[in-house]
Amino acid sequence: MQHAPAPIKVGRTRDGTVAYFVNLPPEALPPVLGRDLAAAWEAARDAAADAAWGTARLFRFRRPDGSVTDLVLSDEDARCWAGAVDGTVGMQTSYGLSLCLRLLALVDLLARASWTAELFRIGRTGTALHPALLSAAATAQLTADARFDETGFRARLAGLPGPPSTGVLA
């Protein structure tokens, strides 16, 4: 029996930042479906093409011991991508928030980890992502700072065949 995604309390700070109050840490957010992650990627790409930069966002994660972890999205691109996810799936549940953070973590990983170069291609008409890359991003546990553990992520993808040809594959 599946449980409904946990709700997220959403508000605004005095400066207009959208604030999300989450009663669990990033590493406790649920996995998502690979097809939802692929759709979020496309929505984010469309939003960027439309220059829909969105607003700053603050995520406050409360841990079981009462401590908090804050994550702030002030980067224009990250705001755009978060806005795209919020506009399509919504981020008022743990599932939608997990989807957004996994998208951002995947983009971060692709930008900084050279070993991922064989798992995606960027072209004029879009980005091709290896299906196993999407699957790993959809299901790998996030770290305390809402990223992917690069070592563990890489191990999940060991031994994959070559890069994808075209399109976002799910």
Give the SS3 label for residue 92.
Answer: coil
Distance CA 131, CA 109 (A): 16
As a three-state string, the secondary structure of 10-47 is EEECCCCCEEEEECCCHHHCCCCCHHHHHHHHHHHHHH
Tell me what pLDDT residue 170 has. 37
Range 95-114 average pLDDT = 92
Query: Which two structure tokens, joined as six digits, stand for 79?
Result: 């705001």
Distances (CA, A) of 55 to 43, 86, 106: 16, 11, 21
Backbone φ and ψ of 36, nearest 5°? -70, -35
What are the tens digits of pLDDT across the range 19-78? 999 999 999 999 999 999 999 988 988 888 888 888 999 999 999 999 999 999 999 999
Q: What is the mean pLDDT of the chain?
A: 86
